[in-house]
Amino acid sequence: MKFAETSYFFEQKRWYQLLKIKKTEQIQLDYSDTTSLIEPTDIDLKDKKFVTVGLVALDQYGNLAAGTSTGGMTNKKFGRVGDASIIGAGTYANNKTCAVSFTGHGEFFIRSLVAYDVSALMEYKGLSLVDAAHEVVIKKLVTVGGEGGLIAIDTKGNITMPFNSGGTYRGFMKSDGTKDILIYK
């Protein structure tokens, strides 16, 4: 594949966000700080295409797939490995159960192996996709303080997209044409 110049990935909003969070020596989710969106020199929102993206899919043969791409946490330590690339943490698919992609505070996802946990609750405890996802995102993660949410689809094409944060950009489309796009609850 052709490599892009580093400048290709530059985004004014994220630059402001980084400068701001660096002063506090903390790390932060890219969508936690909405105030950076209203900086005066901010560029047009249509140009914002470099954010965390997760996807899950079920094909006509019953194959499930999940993928996650992220820039990680803002102001993360150099060399940090996030949850997105760790199968079972932020991303997981199993033709017996479901496909899952997470977004949110990755350290908690790695510790609790959350994407695999959703699948395991379905496989070993017989939970539905909706119940398994609710158990992990709304109960387990909230108990340990992990902010975030998931998108998931099961072998029957059921879809769930719970989150324990203020909102998350999400959408779905089914083969019959049913579709939706959402941000808040």
Closer residue to ligand ASP, CB minimum distance, 52 or 160: 52
Q: Which residues of 23-53 are buried (b: 16+ CB within 10 A; e: fewer)?
A: eeeebbbbbbbeebeeeeeeeeeeeeeeebe
Is 52 part of the annotated catalytic residue set?
yes
Between 11 and 127, CB nearer to ligand ASP: 11
User: Coil, strand or helix: which one is 167?
Assistant: coil
Positive or negative CA dihedral for 7, 11, 16, 18?
Answer: negative
CB of 164 to ligand ASP, least distance (A): 13
Residue 100: in which H helix or E strand, if any?
Answer: strand 98-104
Q: Tell me which of 52, 68, 97, 160 is the catalytic residue.
A: 52
Residue type, 118: V
CB of 101 to ligand ASP, least distance (A): 9
Enumerate binding residues for ligand ASP (CB under 6 A).
Answer: 29-30, 52, 70, 72-73, 82-84, 90, 103-106
Whichever of 17 and 70 has its CB closer to ligand ASP, that residue is 70
Q: Which residues are catalytic?
A: 52
